[in-house]
Structure 1
Amino acid sequence: MVFAGAHEEIITPQDSQFLFGYPHVKRYSEGVHDHLKSSALYLEVDGEKLLFIANDIIFVTKQMAATVREAIAQRLGIPGDHVMVSATHTHSGPITVDYASSTRDQVVPKADPVYVAYATHRMVKAAVQARANAEAASLGFTKADSTGIGTNRRDSTGPADHEVPVLVVMNAARTRYLACMLVVSMHPTVLHEDSKLVSADFPGMARDYLKDAVFGKDCVVLHHTGPCGNQSPRHVVSENTFAEAKRLGIVLGKAVEKAVGKLVFEQDVSIEVRRDFIENPPRRQFPSLQPAKEKLSAVQERMRRLKEERAPSSQIRTVECDIFGAEEMVTLSTMAKTGELDVYYSSCLPFEIQAMRIGPWWFVGWSGELFVDFALDVKRRNPYAFVISMANGENQGYITTEEAAQEGGYEASNALFPPEAGHLLVARTLGLLAGHQ
């Protein structure tokens, strides 16, 4: 017998906060477009208990995850390794992590400990109430197609993952929807640095559509973001507006709505948890300062040429981001030389791999921003495994493919870990799912 409960809490900041995600812009919130939420799903089968907590923030740090897990263990008796805490990665929410690559950016402040404490408290509150709401339940499994919400951001025809696992939770009689959980491999970055309103971006708009048109207002929708380091709405939006965010949210919502018609329900399922750690993943070797500065000059010159040629806005944006990355590589190269990076490595290590099985599906939690290619590698070997990124911590930047590292674009420039770290994550994940540690 499955027991399940869900609950959501608002984690919208109560004062003006620096909205994190874009460099060099003094971007303090001037209002709220739509609320940020912490959405929790509790599952219990034969005494085994799981908790998923999805949050509309840019990152969950290891310390935030530890705080939430410890509080839940004390209040509910659920072990910390049975709790997954993820971030949707909205770029229109408060800064929650001190990022090494932003240390020389004069306009980016430190994370506000008051907001971080407020958000973590609400995460725990959502989890506790989800457990209190538990009742006999039935689980439905289906997959949606997210085509239309974005593409590979460096190459619109490049690798992407539009398969969205959809877990639907109903009461045992199947008369009410309790929760819906999605994993969507796409950056929630329709909104850019010119927007100063708090927003969950298109995942929040998709949630609204699903509540209004499909599941009902009382259904809790958990949106997890899958590996999307090289995925973006950049090539599918006409402008960076709330109208476009809503449009993409509806595209995603309708895709889920269509998939719900093909639900396969199971009442008798088993659940389990496995976990592994990578204590010392390979670290990136940074260039000396002079080559880093030369790279920045070269990218700036490329931008000048593109503007002269009146290149498409999507191409301009890609190179603009490459400039950001080149600037950040200068910062990181300097910090690597002085030893300043050590504290940032310590903050995100060890890498945690958390695997939570619900019936036939595995939900795998990885910290940080990885290219979608790594999740596709896992899925090719195990088609029932779905990776949730930015779970239980962050990696101070991207983990890219070898091709991206050689190209030297934005993502590769500000990475603290090389592609080998991603391959190690894949190998250890597959071993964990196969029962080897």
Structure 2
Amino acid sequence: MMFRRTNRSIRICVEHRFAKASCFAKPILATTVWIASVVCISGLAMTAETDKIFRAGAFAIDITPEKFPVSSSGSMTHRVAKQAHDPLHARCLVLDNGQTSIALVTCDSCMIPREIYDSAKQIASEATGIATDHILCSATHTHTAVSVGHTFQSLVEEDYIPFLVERIAEGIIQAHSQLEPARIGWAVGNNPNQVFNRRWFLRPGVEIDDPFDSGTDRVRMNPSANSRSLLQPAGPVDPEVPVVAVQALDGRPIAMWANYSLHYVGGVPPESLSADYFGEFARQFTKMILANQSKPPFVAAMTNGTSGDINNINFFEGRTSQPPFEQIRLVANDVAASAAVAYQRVQFENWVPLEMRETEIELGVRRPDTEEVARAKQLLADAGDGPRNDRRLIYAGETLDLAEYPPTVKVKLQAIRIGGLAIVSSPCETFVETGLAIKKSSPFKPTFTIELANGYNGYLPTPEQHALGGYETWRAKSSYLSVDAEPKIRETLLQLLDELNTSRPQSTVAK
């Protein structure tokens, strides 16, 4: 129909302009213009098809500190690392479909404040043309990385921060420089063996204490495994292992991004840094698909899903104690095998729609009241100087810190569409219930969440889990958002997904 309308309008214009021409000239001119119009429109169609070239590039950049000792995060007390057992990386993937360009980054870190990510994104955007709101950066949540944010008594390694910013930006730039024609696909694996809800109901009569002496907790985090006091878990698990893969047109693997809702594994000596199972997963998966010799190097990454209440301890039966790093190896190998099975089911496509949305919402902060502040001050005064190892004293310090927080904070949320797949982000240690609810309600199948993304705003229990109490709800720098934060974040992410489902693609590729 478009050709016919165009030809008719061209004929009318030609016939009007050349009305005085001979009868012989009219059809010649009309025919000539018609041919020209067809050639022009065909050229536009060819240009549109030419624009539909999917490209991908990936790069894993080393973010291991260059000097030791360094402060290490992931503990309630200050901890110092003197060495790195294995390298830490920022793994970067850039996707470009000719209309939109996005970047995904996951860093071997416990948590990274928003300011660090924002600085790295700005540098990368200026160098590559990728819009800052089309870059998703996240932390894996290894508990043995360099401390770059204030949590409990960890000291921030200030000298490391400029290095980290530079490395994240450089990794994105390198991945962008390696863009090449590619194909993309995805599949969903499953591994229920390594995920267990760590919040438990205990039998009636078993006392559950808390550092505020409130006596209101109804669940305990990390109870003794296979104990007679155990009743049942206070929440579900998510065993899915989604994988997103890109390969060159000749079949050479470029990258694979996986997702699993497992907090971390641990078993690392206190004086060592380690990427935990996230780094070992990448190494194991690369071996499993025989991609060790790929040039440019193949990049595998494991992102953290919704694991705020999930860990690797089998509380039902207990488990055998392992030497350092062995449990990491076992978990990584098992989950990598599940990802490799899913990888074999990936159906690669030459081009897919690529869109991204970002928004910012304001959430309340649970600040202590006057009485709570007075109690905290008294506890610390009575204890005197010295290290704070007692939980009551640790949380007294947290109470005084939270008293200085603003009444609200702004958090950044993102949603990505890759063909029929969707990814959303959360800047929190998000409970598995939230991830499952998003997967169920999303218009895209599959959908998964990358947590600890674009900043750090502590734990995100659902209102129902808040009512049960427990460690993840105890007010601290690691858990301070208002009780209604989770419904607001979940609702906003689902709104972004609905927008992606109904919107028309908008070009965000730098010209």
TM-score by length of 2: 0.72
The residue identity in structure 2 corresponding to 1:35 is: P
Alpha-carbon spacing, 1:211–1:341, altered in 2? closer, same or farther (3 Å): same
Per-residue deviation at 1:365? 1.4
Per-residue deviation at 1:2? 0.8
Map 1:200-279 → 2, pairs under 5 A? 200-217=275-292, 218-235=297-314, 238-239=320-321, 241-278=324-361
The residue identity in structure 1 corresponding to 2:466 is: A
The residue identity in structure 2 corresponding to 1:71 is: I
* 1:102-154 residue CA offsets vs partner (Å, 9 max, x unmatched): 2xx3xx32x12221111121111111111111111011211111322221111
**1:260 partner SS:** helix
Residues 105, 137 of structure 2: 8 Å contact kept: yes
> What's 2:47 paired with?
none
Residues 190, 233 of structure 1: 8 Å contact kept: no
> What's 1:408 paired with?
469
Residues 53, 222 of structure 1: 8 Å contact kept: no
CA distance in 2, matches of 1:277, 1:381: 21
Q: Report whether the alignment pairs 1:392 with 2:445.
A: no
CA distance in 1, matches of 2:355, 2:81: 41
Q: Report whether the alignment pairs 1:90 with 2:154.
A: no
Q: Report whether the alignment pairs 1:140 with 2:185.
A: yes
* 1:277-299 residue CA offsets vs partner (Å, 9 max, x unmatched): 11x21332546428977xx9xxx
Alpha-carbon spacing, 1:360–1:291, altered in 2? closer, same or farther (3 Å): farther
Q: Report whether the alignment pairs 1:191 with 2:273.
A: no
Residues 367, 405 of structure 2: 8 Å contact kept: no
CA distance in 2, matches of 1:237, 1:133: 44
The residue identity in structure 2 corresponding to 1:159 is: P
The residue identity in structure 1 corresponding to 2:285 is: L
The residue identity in structure 2 corresponding to 1:250 is: N
CA distance in 1, matches of 2:267, 2:319: 10
CA distance in 1, matches of 2:267, 2:463: 29
Map 1:144-155 → 2, pairs under 5 A? 144-155=189-200
**2:159 partner SS:** helix
CA distance in 1, matches of 2:299, 2:83: 25
CA distance in 2, matches of 1:184, 1:334: 35
Residues 169, 178 of structure 1: 8 Å contact kept: yes
Per-residue deviation at 1:255? 0.6
> What's 1:76 paired with?
128
> What's 2:496 paired with?
432
> What's 1:357 paired with?
417
Per-residue deviation at 1:160? 1.1
Residues 190, 234 of structure 1: 8 Å contact kept: no
CA distance in 1, matches of 2:434, 2:114: 21
**1:266 partner SS:** coil
* 1:145-193 residue CA offsets vs partner (Å, 9 max, x unmatched): 132222111147531111121001100121x10000011111113236x
CA distance in 1, matches of 2:454, 2:257: 17
Q: 1:48 aligns with which of 100, 108, 123?
A: 100
Alpha-carbon spacing, 1:292–1:201, altered in 2? closer, same or farther (3 Å): farther
Alpha-carbon spacing, 1:53–1:215, altered in 2? closer, same or farther (3 Å): farther
CA distance in 2, matches of 1:213, 1:428: 38
Per-residue deviation at 1:260? 1.4
- Which stretches in structure 1 are left out of the alignment for 5+ residues? 297-322
Per-residue deviation at 1:31? 1.8
The residue identity in structure 2 corresponding to 1:360 is: G
TM-score by length of 1: 0.84
Alpha-carbon spacing, 1:292–1:166, altered in 2? closer, same or farther (3 Å): farther
The residue identity in structure 1 corresponding to 2:471 is: Y
Alpha-carbon spacing, 1:435–1:328, altered in 2? closer, same or farther (3 Å): farther
Largest Rg, 1 or 2 = 2
Identity of aligned residues (%): 24
Alpha-carbon spacing, 1:153–1:265, altered in 2? closer, same or farther (3 Å): same
Per-residue deviation at 1:14? 1.5
CA distance in 2, matches of 1:239, 1:357: 42
Q: 1:65 aligns with which of 117, 120, 127?
A: 117
* 1:311-370 residue CA offsets vs partner (Å, 9 max, x unmatched): xxxxxxxxxxxx74x65543343344xx4122xx77xx3111111111111111111212
Map 1:108-147 → 2, pairs under 5 A? 108-109=154-155, 111-147=156-192
> What's 2:397 paired with?
331
**2:149 partner SS:** coil
